[in-house]
Each structure stands twice: as structure tokens, then as C-alpha cells.
Amino acid sequence: MTNRKIPLAAVIGSPVAHSRSPALHTHWLKKYGLHGHYVPMDVSQHDLPEVLAALPKMGFVGANVTIPHKETVLKLANVVTDRAALIGAANTLIFRSDGKMHADNTDGYGFIENLRHNAPGWDPKSGPAAVLGAGGAARAVLASLLDVGVPEIRLSNRTRARSEALRKEFGAKINVYDWVKAGNMLDTAATVVNATSLGMDGKSEMRVPLDALSPNALVTDLVYTPLETEFLRTAKTAGCMTVDGLGMLLFQAAPGFERWFGVRPEVDEEARRVVLGL
Ligand code: ATR
């Protein structure tokens, strides 16, 4: 018998019932024979500060944060990592033993690791990237692509003002394209990313013409329901290497798990199946 507290972690959002994070973390806890639990918590915006203040007292060592709390937690944290500040949102919280709440964002890391693992030979420096979308997910994509040294990012969004705002924030490597001309930015692009919600089950399909895609381009979609979107299917037909968005979800979870439970978990086929509910 030891007096060691069993470490607890949560995913906090609203709604949160659909989240696959509890299944993934519980799978890893079991796989590595670790003590600990990971639970979903549906928390309103009003209650968030009180809940976050109480969790460490209850044995929680950290949490993932999802919609609609990813931006709010930056204001509540005592320490914010540079990448979370740059992205303007956090997805991973660590409740430190000194009582301080540490907020990090591992979405960009998850995005890059997914490509590194599933697109052998991909070199982000080899040419411009083209990114569709300028929401929260796009911010993580831009920050991480710049971090790994892409020479240029072409950015297009239905609401142009949002891409202009990102250009101002992320700097001169970003070139904004009008949404009706988004197809033009694919020409010579080495990395092409759908960071919109288009193509997701229940949403409209992406209508951007993909004729200008080079077969040398790596094409990835942040949408993972369905796993193979129309966007990825078209890119595959054009001869491109494609990577689905599920891996980003898996890889973004790994750093949090390691900080809370002490083991770096492996992202493998088994983890993928767990998240897919297979
Ligand atoms: P997330 O955090 O997942 O990025 P978001 O901030 O709501 O979510 O962003 C959704 C993205 O999908 C935005 O780029 C959005 O474009 P707008 O900024 O113009 O809203 C894009 N999107 C959603 N529905 C779309 C549609 N029907 N046509 C084009 N873009 C769409």
C-alpha cells in the first residue's frame, strides 16, 4: 500500500459527450499498466473558473480543453507556453504541484507529427504551403508550418477579413488569396491543407477546384469524419500523397498524457482503432 494519489485527468468542454479522448487515454493507461483515470466533463463557461480552481484539490493533474473553452483558459492560466500564446488557444492544461496552472497547445505539434509519421519524405521546406480556412484550427496549422520552416503560406478563407487578420498576426510569409480564387494557390504548392469544416459529415462539400494540384504535393485534411473526405479522394486521384486528419487528434494527445501519467504513449494502429471505436 502506498499513499500516492491516483492521478486524474479530464477533457473539459461543452458539449463533450462525443469526445474520443477518454477512450484514447483510457486505452493508453491500460496498455502501460498505469494508475489513473481520464473522464469527460461537461462544464459551462460560467462555471469554468471555479471548476479549474477545484480540480487540483481533487487529485487532477491536468486536463484537455475543447470547444468552447480553448481561448478562455489562456486568461485563467498562470503560465502560458509561447506556442499557446501564438495560436491564441490552449488544449492541454497541467496543474503543477506548486499550485500554478500551465496552459499549452499541442494541436500544431499533432498536425506536424501526423505528417512526419504518415508522409515519409515530406519536406515542408521544399515549397509553399496552401491552407484553406482561417478559424481556430487554421491558426495552429499556420503556427506549426512556420515553425518547421515553410518558405511561404498561401491562405484563403470564405471570409477574407479573417485571413487578412492572420496575415497581420503571422507576418509576411502569409499571402492571402480570395476564396473564389483559392484554386490558384494550389499551383506549385508542396503542402496543401484543408482547415475548414467543409467535407465533414453533415456539412457541405469543398467546392474549391483542385485541378492545379501538383502530384508532388502532400495533401491533408483536418476533417476526419469521414476519414477519407472528397478533398482527399480527389487529391489521391491526382496522384498526391494524402494524410487523413485522425492522426492529428492522436498525436496532439500524447504530450499531455506523458506530462500527467509519466509515459510517452505510442501512436499506432491500435490507438487509431480505439479512437474510431473499432
Ligand atoms: P475551427 O476551430 O474548427 O477552425 P471555426 O473557427 O469555426 O472552427 O472555423 C471554421 C472554418 O471553416 C472557417 O475557416 C470557416 O470559414 P469562415 O471564416 O468564412 O466562416 C470555414 N467554413 C465553414 N463553413 C464553410 C462554408 N460553407 N464555406 C466555406 N468555408 C466554410
Are the C-beta atoms of residues 246 and 118 closer than 8 Å to each other? Answer: no
Any domain includes 270: yes
Q: 98 with 112, same domain?
A: no
Instruction: Tell me which residue range forms the domain holding 232.
Output: 108-244
Is the C-beta atom of 196 inside 6 A of ligand 1? yes
pLDDT tens track for 41-61: 999 999 999 999 999 999 999
Which pLDDT belongs to residue 3?
62
Ligand 1 mean position to 1 CA, how many Å? 52
Q: Are 159 and 264 in the same domain?
A: no
Which one of 57, 70, 75, 125 is the catalytic residue?
70
Q: Is residue 2 part of a domain?
A: no
Residue having the nearest C-alpha atom to atom 29 of ligand 1: 158
Pocket mutation for ligand 1, best pick of 166, 178, 179, 197 (most atoms within 8 Å of C-beta): 197
- Residue 149, classified by CB atoms within 10 Å of its CB into exposed (0-12), middle (13-18) or buried (19+), is exposed
pLDDT of residue 15: 95
Q: What residue ranges of the chain have pLDDT lower than 70?
A: 1-3
CA distance 59 to 39: 13
Q: Kindly state whether residues 112 and 240 are assigned to the same domain.
A: yes
Q: Total domain count for the chain?
A: 2
Do 91 and 219 fall into the same domain? Answer: no
- Are 84 and 113 members of one domain? no
- For residue 140, what is the domain's CATH number? 3.40.50.720
Q: Supply angle C-alpha 73, 244, 225, rounded to 5.
A: 70
Residue ID of nearest Cα to ligand 1 atom 12: 196
φ/ψ of residue 36, rounded to 5: 145, 165
Q: Indicate which CATH number applies to the domain containing 97.
A: 3.40.50.10860
In-domain check, residue 217: yes
Ligand 1 atom 8 nearest Cα: 135
Residue 133 pLDDT:
98
**Cell numbers describing residue 275:** 479512437
Write down the pLDDT at residue 278.
87
Same domain for 115 and 130: yes
pLDDT of residue 5: 85
* Through-space distance between the first and last CA atoms of the chain, rounded to whole angstroms: 36
CB 162, CB 136: distance < 8 Å: no
Ligand 1 pocket test, candidate residues 66, 158, 167, 229, most atoms within 8 A of CB: 158
User: From CA 124, how far away is CA 272, in angstroms rounded?
Assistant: 25
From 156, 176, 196, 222, mutation site for ligand 1 pocket: most ligand atoms within 8 A of C-beta = 196
Residue 177 shares a structural domain with residue 160: yes
| Active-site annotation holds for 5 | no
Span from the CA of 270 to the centroid of ligand 1 (angstroms): 31
